[in-house]
């Protein structure tokens, strides 16, 4: 157990809808990163939040957005869902360099 929690565990949406995924970081960790992992692939970096500010972004369109709250928990929002957004969404919290992942949210877009 890493102490990182994510909700919901599974989610089914239809194309064009919007989704919000949530993450609670490990105690003492002020940095949260979000990743998308498609089946059979490694995680792809979406963005990172540090002290409530976006602190780096991968090659994802603006319809992927996020927030970090004062307690360091975080949300990932995806608008205008596309079929290719179906994936495991992972949240990782870190203090300095080592990242620890939550259990993930499996998103299916129909």
Stretch that binds another protein, among 8-16, 20-28, 38-46, 77-85 (CB under 8 A): 38-46
Strand ranges (DSSP E) for the chain? Answer: 5-7, 10-13, 19-24, 31-37, 44-50, 53-57, 64-68, 74-78, 87-95, 98-101, 105-109
Q: Between residues 20 and 58, which has the closer beta carbon with respect to another protein?
A: 58
User: Is residue 50 a contact point for another protein (CB under 8 A)?
Assistant: yes
Token digits of residue 88: 């495991």
List residues near another protein by CB under 8 A: 2, 31, 33, 35, 40-45, 48, 50, 55-56, 58, 88, 90, 92, 94, 96-104
């Amino acid at each position: 157990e890493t102490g990182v929690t994510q909700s919901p565990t599974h989610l089914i949406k239809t194309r064009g809808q919007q989704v919000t995924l949530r993450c609670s970081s490990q105690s003492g960790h002020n940095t949260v990163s979000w990743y998308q992992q498609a089946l059979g692939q490694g995680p792809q970096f979406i963005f990172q939040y540090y002290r409530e500010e976006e602190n780096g972004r991968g090659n994802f369109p603006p319809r992927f957005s996020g927030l970090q709250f004062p307690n360091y928990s975080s949300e990932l929002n995806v608008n205008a869902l596309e079929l290719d957004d179906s994936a495991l969404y992972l949240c990782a919290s870190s203090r300095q360099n080592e990242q620890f992942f939550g259990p993930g949210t499996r998103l299916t877009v129909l």
